[in-house]
């Protein structure tokens, strides 16, 4: 579901897993990084088989918010 706020958008993008925290931080090179914290039992669900789910989230974040990196913790 699209949301104008990057943190809310990424929180919705990892559903059905529940994101405990989403932070958007600028890197040293000026590129944005999203750090998404989820429960350990949901981490595999968010990443997906072969990284498919997190790849989709990464592409959407880059397209809509110019976020270059997505880190799942």
Q: Between these two residues, 3 and 73, which has the higher pLDDT value?
A: 73
Strands 32-38 and 67-72, how do they pair? parallel
Answer yes or no: is pLDDT of 2 > 80: no
Answer yes or no: is pLDDT of 63 > 80: yes
Number of other CB atoms surrounding residue 69 within 10 Å:
14
Position 43 confidence tier, pLDDT thresholds 50, 70, 90? very high
Position 3 confidence tier, pLDDT thresholds 50, 70, 90? confident
**pLDDT tens for each residue of 4-32:** 899 999 999 999 999 999 999 998 898 99
Number of other CB atoms surrounding residue 13 within 10 Å:
25
DSSP state of 7: H
Residue environment code for 22-56, b if the CB has 16+ CB neighbours within 10 A, otherwise e: beeeeeeeeebebebebeeebeeebbeeeeebbee
């Amino acid at each position: 579901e699209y949301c104008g706020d990057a943190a809310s958008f990424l929180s919705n993008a990892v559903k059905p897993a529940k994101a405990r925290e989403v932070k958007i931080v600028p890197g040293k090179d000026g590129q944005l990084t999203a750090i998404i914290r989820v429960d350990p039992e949901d981490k595999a669900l968010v990443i997906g088989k072969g990284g498919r789910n997190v790849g989709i989230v990464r592409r959407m974040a880059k397209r809509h918010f110019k976020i270059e990196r997505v880190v799942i913790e």
